[in-house]
Amino acid sequence: MASPSIITLTSPGSPAALAPQTDSFYGLTREALEAWCTLHGFSRVHAKTLFRSAYKALNPEPWSAPSLPRACAALLPLSLSSAPLRLVAEQRSGYDHSLKFLVGLAGGREVEAVLMPETKRLTLCLSSQVGCAQGCVFCHTGRMGLIRQLSTDEIVGQVLLAERWIAAHPEWLQQVRLPASTRISNIVFMGMGEPLDNVDAVIAALRILSDPFGLALGLSHISVSTAGHLDGIERLYAALPKARLALSVHSTDDAQRSRIMPINKRWPLTEVVDRLRTILGGEGPPVLLQYTLIRGVNDRLEDAEQLARLSQGLNAKINLIPLNVVGPSRLSAPSPEAIKAFRDLLCSHGLRVMVRYSKGQDIAAACGQLVRDANSQSGSSSSGET
Ligand code: SF4
């Protein structure tokens, strides 16, 4: 039964109603923490102190901050849980220094988070669900179905787990040639799950992660990936108009996209993009269009023309991702020449295009492969990402 201090962040009847109501410190936005302080007779200003202590100082007992009243410090751990997520295993890539964390959740399930160092930034890829209801045919997570939503504190907890790991392993930052003071600079919701099918928990997590008194990651540094969940897109932008979206396109052909991404039957790509044009316009926050290039499937120049047409009227950036094949497959990436021709055609339309290769290929950390190894070892099914 819920204690009087439990603060509800989800709407009844929403997909996120599958998520537990929160009695976790790390599930509370600063506004919710202010409400907790007021409810218990303390000044709301203490919420800022608690946020600094928890997220800037990474204090595992945030209430031990010296400026907090003793009564508040005594009540908080009795009223709100703050248990960290469990690091079950870590795996380092010898290929590009990506680092995969296998993260244990309450109830025995596991998800993955992947840390990806680059020249001037450190990106963490997060999971938002255990499994996924969307069933994209190329995705291991999709084969699991939706097992459960992650709560806000489980999403935020992945960031804290990674931040604490970095703080405890200064030699890793040296190894990847990043300054000793480096902290996570970017977040992508591209781990297990369709984040916008868990939109309430994700919105609360975005508020916490971007809070200026906490980690202060600007919304422009956090990318929410979606297969095209239109309800979630509308709710995300209604709550956070400056949010950044990464839309997985993969095919501009309606019939083909419906075959590989069943969500397209409910929300066809053209309908999703039309709505984005209305919400954002050409001057709004950038939208990243993700396009996995597969030889002989979607790599023709006429596919590039279609993609260019789709991008019109949006502040679009395009990520071309040559298919990352792990194990035997009849599918493959196009030749370097074909990738270049595809990219050049998009560029000729004035579009911003990047060709990106999946990171952590040797540790199965790339799109659609998260947790697969761990689950196959434990006999359960496999996983992936949006
Ligand atoms: S690709 Fe994303 S949306 Fe599709 S099944 Fe996998 S996790 Fe779900």
- Give the whole-angstrom CA distance, residue 13 versus residue 380: 29
- State the pLDDT at residue 130: 96
Question: Is residue 385 assigned to a domain?
Answer: no
- Mark whether 302 and 241 lie in a shared domain: yes
Mean pLDDT for 210-214 is 97
Question: Is residue 383 assigned to a domain?
Answer: no
Residue located nearest, by CA, to atom 4 of ligand 1: 136
Contact 85, 102 (CB under 8 A): no
Q: Is 193 in the pocket of ligand 1 (CB under 6 A)?
A: yes
Min mean pLDDT across 181-190, 239-248, 273-282, 326-335 is at 326-335
- Give the whole-angstrom CA distance, residue 355 versus residue 128: 26
pLDDT band of residue 265 (cuts 50, 70, 90) is: very high
- Domain boundary residue, one of 79, 99, 120: 79
User: Between 96 and 269, where is the model more confident?
Assistant: 269
What is the domain extent for residue 165? 86-378
pLDDT band of residue 94 (cuts 50, 70, 90) is: confident
Ligand 1 pocket: which of 134, 188, 199, 323 to mutate (most atoms within 8 A of CB)? 134
Catalytic residue status for 154 = no
- Cβ neighbors of 182 (< 8 A, separation 6 or more) are 122, 166, 173
- State the pLDDT at residue 385: 46
- Mark whether 258 and 222 lie in a shared domain: yes
- Mark whether 96 and 193 lie in a shared domain: yes
pLDDT of residue 17 exceeding 80? no
- Mark whether 28 and 101 lie in a shared domain: no
CATH for 320: 3.20.20.70
Calculate how far, in angstroms, residue 163's C-alpha sits from the geometric centre of ligand 1.
26
- Give the whole-angstrom CA distance, residue 125 versus residue 136: 19
- State the pLDDT at residue 378: 38
Identify the DSSP state of 168: H
User: Which helix (H) or strand (E) segment is 147 a member of?
Assistant: strand 146-149
Contact 267, 228 (CB under 8 A): yes
- Mark whether 95 and 68 lie in a shared domain: no
Helix, strand and coil percent figures for the chain, each rounded to 5: 40, 20, 40
What is the atom index within ligand 1 of the atom nearest the CA of 385? 7
pLDDT of residue 27 exceeding 70? yes
pLDDT band of residue 122 (cuts 50, 70, 90) is: very high
Min mean pLDDT across 47-61, 144-158, 222-236, 316-330 is at 316-330
Calculate how far, in angstroms, residue 39's C-alpha sits from the geometric centre of ligand 1.
40
Question: Is residue 6 assigned to a domain?
Answer: no
- Give the whole-angstrom CA distance, residue 163 versus residue 166: 5
Question: Is residue 237 assigned to a domain?
Answer: yes
Strand partners, 24: 81
Q: Is 19 in the pocket of ligand 1 (CB under 6 A)?
A: no
- State the pLDDT at residue 363: 54
Catalytic residue status for 112 = yes
- Mark whether 166 and 214 lie in a shared domain: yes
Question: Is residue 161 assigned to a domain?
Answer: yes
Question: Is residue 11 assigned to a domain?
Answer: no
Given 34, 72, 367, 385, the catalytic residue: 367
pLDDT of residue 4 exceeding 60? no
- Mark whether 69 and 136 lie in a shared domain: no
Mean pLDDT for 302-316 is 96
Ligand 1 pocket: which of 111, 229, 385 to mutate (most atoms within 8 A of CB)? 385
- State the pLDDT at residue 110: 95
Ligand 1 pocket: which of 128, 143, 194, 323 to mutate (most atoms within 8 A of CB)? 194
User: Percent of the chain having pLDDT more than 90?
Assistant: 77
Question: Is residue 2 assigned to a domain?
Answer: no
- Mark whether 57 and 98 lie in a shared domain: no
- Mark whether 357 and 314 lie in a shared domain: yes
- State the pLDDT at residue 2: 32
- Mark whether 52 and 194 lie in a shared domain: no
Residue located nearest, by CA, to atom 1 of ligand 1: 386
Contact 80, 23 (CB under 8 A): yes
Q: What is the pLDDT of residues 133-188, one digit of tens each?
A: 999 988 888 889 999 999 999 999 999 999 999 999 999 999 999 999 999 999 99
- Mark whether 75 and 117 lie in a shared domain: no
Q: Is 141 in the pocket of ligand 1 (CB under 6 A)?
A: yes
Averaged pLDDT of the chain: 88
186-189 and 122-125 strand pairing: parallel
Q: What is the pLDDT of residues 330-385, one digit of tens each?
A: 888 999 999 999 999 999 999 999 998 776 555 544 444 545 544 444 333 333 44
- Domain boundary residue, one of 79, 98, 123: 79
Q: Is 232 in the pocket of ligand 1 (CB under 6 A)?
A: no
- Domain boundary residue, one of 49, 79, 109: 79
Question: Is residue 335 assigned to a domain?
Answer: yes
- Give the whole-angstrom CA distance, residue 193 versus residue 187: 15
Number of structural domains in the chain = 2
pLDDT of residue 20 exceeding 70? no
- Mark whether 248 and 320 lie in a shared domain: yes
- State the pLDDT at residue 371: 54
